[in-house]
Structure formats: structure tokens, C-alpha cells
Amino acid sequence: MIRPVVDVEQVQRMSDRVVLADVRWYLDGRSGRAAYDAGHLPGAVFVDLDRVLARPGSPAEGRHPLPDPAAFADRMATLGIGDGDTVIAYDDAGGVIAGRLVWMLRVTGHEAALLDGGLGAYRGELSTEELRRAVAAFTPRAWPADLLADPDDAAAGSFVVLDARDGSRFRGESEPVDPRAGHIPGARNLPCRDNVDADGRFLPVPELRKRFEAVGVTDGTKVISYCGSGVTACHNLIALEHAGFPAGRLYPGSWSQWSSDPERPAAVGD
């Protein structure tokens, strides 16, 4: 399988064999679609996080539950992405949003990777032309249970639980969208945006490994990754794989699900 992170030179060499996916989305309410329309990588299709990579949220399941596999397959097919395609996804935030699509594809056996540096890595002229690919054949595949976690798993104490949110949200100093501030007791903060440098490119593998080791991850550790709604948590899972560690589990409901349950405790501070 293709490595989880590729650079723009690799993509250019593979240009006739890949589908570029623009997965921009903004927590502050800005339109990812509008950003795509204003300028995107030539040949890229727009993948809507809310419509394609999640189903409608609820307090019981969180803000971005994983979509039904059949619905996801149908939307991929409609975008012109098929079983045999290699998908290279990008955004303008170091891959923290696009990582959701890459994780979803990789865990179901599809070839997919993040474009290192995202939109900013491309030095050519951006396109404003919407690409319409022919409908493809994309086979539904169940989300692998061994790579998912639920609230009980996160509370069990048998995993290293990583919180991908920024430190202020982890510590409970701010909470812009979810019912309560804080984090899952026992979780360790590993902000996903610090997996990349100022240009949005992944840190060298030795530095990534040190980041994970500093929060207790070793080659034999079982890891659960969560965030606000199970989106940016995927970036830590991709970084984990990129750094050479065994695959971790995604907690899709994440803090948005946990904090909606008054029976679940919330920790604050470091």
C-alpha cells in the first residue's frame, strides 16, 4: 500500500494514476466549498466533510459519526472515485481535515495518502474549474471493528488515549462547540496541528516518534485517538503510521459524544 504521506513531486510522477481530493472544512463556519471554488489544485474533486465523510450528528453519537458504508461508497462513486483509484487528499490546514478521508480509505483497503504540505505545497496556478468525473464503481466495506473504539474503550485504562485537540481545549480553558469543557480522564494531549511545521509539512519521522514517545506511545502500545468529533483525531493516526508505530484506533464520537453524557466525567488541566 502507498505510504500515508506523499510529497508533491511523488504526486506529479503519479499524476495519471491518482485522484486529487480537496477536503477543506472550517470549524468557524467558513465554507470549504467556497474555498474550493475560489481556487484548488488542477483536477481535484471537492469532498464535503459533512455530506460525504460523516452522517448527521447527535448527542448520542457525536458531531461527525462515520457514515454508513453503503452511503460512503455511493458518494465516492458519484465523485468518480473507484475501487482501483489512488486518492491523494489535501486541505489548507496541514492535513488535519483531509486526514479523515485518508484514514477512512486506508482502513477499508483503498490506496490513499495525504499530500504533504497540502494546498501550499503546489507552486503552479490554481484552478477554478469544477472537475466532474464519470461515476465509478466503489464497493462498500464495513468499518473494521478492531480499528474503532467506543466510550467504554476510552475509559478502560488499557489504552494510551490521545487527545488531538489544541491544548486550551484539552485543559478545559475553552470549548467553542461541545457541551462541556475538558478531556477524557487519563487522556494525554497530542495536538495534531503540531505534527507539522509552519509550512504544513510533517515533521521528520524521528521527531514524530519523539512526540509520540513523550506521551507514552511505544511499539507495543495500544492507542486510541480522539478529538472533538473524530475528524482531526485521524491526523494523529496517520502520523502514528507515518512514524512507524502500529495502527491505533479511532474513537469516532470523541469529545462531542463523551461530553454529551452527564454520567461521563470530565477532567481539566494538564
Q: Contact 21/36 with Cβ under 8 angstroms?
A: no
249: alpha, beta or left, given left = phi > 0 and alpha = psi -120 to 50? beta
Closest by Cα among 14, 10, 54, 47 to 133: 47
Q: What size, in residues, is the chain?
A: 270
Report the C-alpha gap between 96 and 86 in whole angstroms. Answer: 19
Report the C-alpha gap between 186 and 157 in whole angstroms. Answer: 8
The cell numbers describing 233, all together, are 483525531
**Would you call 192 a catalytic residue per the annotation?**
no
Q: Contact 134/220 with Cβ under 8 angstroms?
A: no
Query: What are the φ and ψ backbone dihedral angles of 154, each rounded to 5 degrees?
Result: -65, -25
Closest by Cα among 158, 170, 144, 155 to 250: 144
Strand pairing partners for 83? none
3-state secondary structure 63-97: CCCCCCHHHHHHHHHHCCCCCCCEEEEECCCCCCC
The cell numbers describing 220, all together, are 507495543
Query: Considering 227, 234, 239, 240, which one is annotated as catalytic?
Result: 227
Catalytic residue set: 227
